[in-house]
Structure formats: structure tokens, C-alpha cells
Amino acid sequence: MGLGWASIRGVLVTMPVIGLQRGVILRTMTTGHPAHSRQDMFCDRCGAYAIRRVALDGEQGTFACGACGRCDTRRVLPLHIVTGASGAGKTTIITIVQRTLVECGVFDKDALWATDWDMVYNNFFRIASSLAQGGRRAVVIGTILPEFLTGLSDRDLVGTIHYANLHCDDASRERRLLTRRTWDVPARAFIEKHQAFAAWLLAEASTAFDPPMPTFDTTQSTPDEVAAQVVRWVRSTIHVNA
């Protein structure tokens, strides 16, 4: 039986640092308001936050300012996110994927660190949009859920968001996390919370993610093998949407 939002909301409540981050599970789950009211993008011509994407024809997006009437077109490409609970191996594969998937920009989510995670995610949308103008896609590796991105001002700078989940069995996760910093949370509590979150990701992979999210099991795979799976996944979506 899958865990719903009500159950997962309490999974990481006692994690002090993570509780500060929309991106690592928890501002929305602890406060109970999943998406804030939308603010449009900033217009550098008139100074208003009034730009929205008003049309999308294939990869060409049309963006208009509701205040001054400015209208521009930008290339809009899908975004790829590799998510997963702690201990699954996300950080371990980042450099390998960066060196292999050279046709894309590959980023560690935590490379842009801030207390305002909405700003961080909007910045990733802007970076992805900048790469898209040259025909390159962006891949962000780190714990992100659709819930964290809904309603953000710059969301329309990218197209479909594809998610992949890195997963390992409970014993492997426990072994890996016992060697890591647990953000001032007792190790046992930290491990149990991420085991519960991992179970939720598996249960909801086909229902909470659109398109459905594939899972790559890292339990017995080497970092190189996991990175290769991620690279094949990204390239397969590029070919499908080409």
C-alpha cells in the first residue's frame, strides 16, 4: 500500500536542516500548503513581474509582458531531474554523469544553496533556458519533487520535466547513511525517515509524476553502472522528443 501525502508529510519533520528547504522535502509537507501563489517573471523593460509564456509551438515559446506588451520568443526544452532519498547514490554519480553526458548541462542541485529554495529552483529554470537557446538540455541531480516546482514564476521557461529515481534496499541505505552526516538528527531516526521516503517514491512513481518516473536500483550497481543508466535514460528521452 502506497504512502499518501498525509503520511509522507511527517516523514522528515524532525530534520532541522531539511525542514528549511522546499527542495529536500519539507517546507510544503510540514506547512500543508503545497504551492504558493504564482508571481510572473520579471520584465527588464518595464520593471514589472508580468511576463508569462502565452504560447508554445513545438520548442518555440512565446513570452509576453502583461504590463508593457513586450513579446519575445525563446526555445523551450524539457528538464531532467534525478531524485531519490538520501543514500541512493545521487551525489556519487554527479561527476561521472557530467563527464559522460557532455551534450547536456548536468548540475548538482546543492551547488546553488540558499535558504530560499524557490529562488534556487527558479535559477535552475533560467539556467536550463539559457542552455536551451543553444540546443542543450539541463539535468539536475538532487532530491526534488513536482510539489516543489508547481507555481514557481519561471516554470514555463522549460517544457516537460522528466524525473528518474535512484533507489537502494533498506540495508544498503542504512549502511551508507551510517557513514554520513545526519544533520544533527540521530542516525536511526534519519535512516528510518529516508527509508520511508524511498518507499513513497517507489509507490508513487506512476501516479505523482507525469510522465511516470523510472527507478534505477543502485543496491548492487557500481557508480559507473548507475551513471550509465542515467545517461541512457536522458538520451532516450531526447531521441523520443526529437
Instruction: Going residue by residue through the chain, which has 242 residues, state the pLDDT in tens, using 9 for 90 and above.
Output: 445 544 454 444 434 333 333 334 443 332 333 445 568 999 999 999 999 999 999 999 999 999 999 999 999 999 999 999 999 999 999 999 999 999 999 999 999 887 889 999 999 999 999 999 999 999 999 999 999 999 999 999 999 999 999 999 999 999 999 887 666 777 888 899 999 999 999 999 999 999 999 999 999 999 999 999 999 999 999 876 55
* Residue 58 and residue 67 in contact, taking contact as beta carbons nearer than 8 Å: no
| Phi/psi of residue 202, nearest 5 degrees | -65, -45
Domains detected in the chain: 5-33+77-241 (3.40.50.300), 35-76 (no CATH)
Question: Is 160:149 a contact under the CB 8 Å cutoff?
Answer: no
Give 233's contacts (C-beta < 8 A, 6+ positions apart).
Answer: 80, 164, 214, 216
Q: Within the chain, where are the H helices?
A: 5-8, 27-31, 90-100, 117-132, 146-149, 170-177, 187-204, 223-241
Largest CA distance in the chain: 58
The CA distance from 58 to 76, in Å, is 8
pLDDT for residue 30: 29
Q: What is the pLDDT of residue 8?
A: 52
pLDDT of the residue at 172: 96
What one-character DSSP code corresponds to residue 111?
G
The predicted structure's pLDDT at residue 68 = 96
Q: Is the peptide bond before 214 cis (omega within 30 degrees of 0)?
A: no
